[in-house]
A and B are shown apart, each in its own frame.
Chain A
Amino acid sequence: METIQKKAEEGITSELALVQAAKKGDLEAFSELVKRYDRNVFRIAQHITHNEEDAQDVVQDAFLKAYQNLEQFQGNSKFYTWLVRIAVNEALMRLRKRRNDRTVSLDEDVETEEGSIPREVAGWAPNPEQLYGTSELGDILKKTIQGLSPGFRTVFVLRDVEGLSTEETAEMLNLSIPAVKSRLLRARLQLRDRLAKYFKSKRGGDGQR
């Protein structure tokens, strides 16, 4: 246990070594895994639930479930992939409860036409970069992504916010690769259309300035 701790401090302990130690009952090793991924799980949970209380519960429940089911983790995929899968399911469950709607799923609204054809074709000016770091921008971004259906925003957050690959995202969400790709395209285009409301050039120019 001491060696695990020491190596973890040096940041060189592999994920697999930590998982194996945790399986054998080393709580310190599991604590290290929590520290490694809690921020990511929180972000993903917030994006899906849009409720801070729910997101906190998701973080706790996802890690606890992972710990309780560690025996079932085969090591065929990354621990993180497996963990996010648990977290996404927990988050969707909270969302269902909150909305009192059992039909909330990753497949919701995928048939919508929105985003398949861009409506806004004006350029953006001034550049949104000018708002970087302001709370105004944070509010705009939150409000905008909240309008997307859970399936779209989940794919978007895993691929474009967390920077995971299409293949990893497909595995985490139990979707095919083409399904991830089409959701991602639609999510990106819907967000773009919605953000245009705030950022499009107001002078009717071409936005190239």
Chain B
Amino acid sequence: MKCTEFLKELTDYLDGRINENLRVELDEHLHWCHECHVVMNTTKKTIEIYRDNQIYELPEDLRNRLHQAIMSKCRKTKSEKTTSHE
């Protein structure tokens, strides 16, 4: 297996969505290819680091403000709908 072939399967490999035969081949490639081993490891870390460190959390006070704004707009839409039906 060539490095480019390994790379093509990397996403499925990391997601654990790969059939057994192919997995064996990929594992074997990783065993002797240092570069792909590093790429695989650091890609895995890249995913973990973004998953574990939510960089865009919604602060609770902003969340409440947005919620109020949304609901008041919905209420307005609802009353407009009702009036137009009458």
Residues of A that sit less than 8 Å from B by CB: 25, 27, 30-31, 34-35, 38-39, 42-43, 46-47, 55-56, 59-60, 63-64, 67-68, 117-118, 120-124, 127-128, 132-133, 137-138, 141-142, 145, 156, 160-161, 163, 181, 184-185, 188-189, 191-192, 195-196, 199, 206-207
Contact = CB atoms under 8 A, between A and B. Distances in A.
A195 B11 contact: no
Interface string B34-76: 1100110111011101111111111000110011011101110
B78 interface: yes
A54 B52 CA distance: 24
A189 B63 contact: no
A141 B74 contact: no
B2 to A, nearest CB: 12
B47 A34 contact: no
User: Do most interface residues of chain B lie in helix, strand or loop, or is the interface mixed?
Assistant: helix
A42 B44 CA distance: 25
B63 A160 contact: no
B10 interface: yes
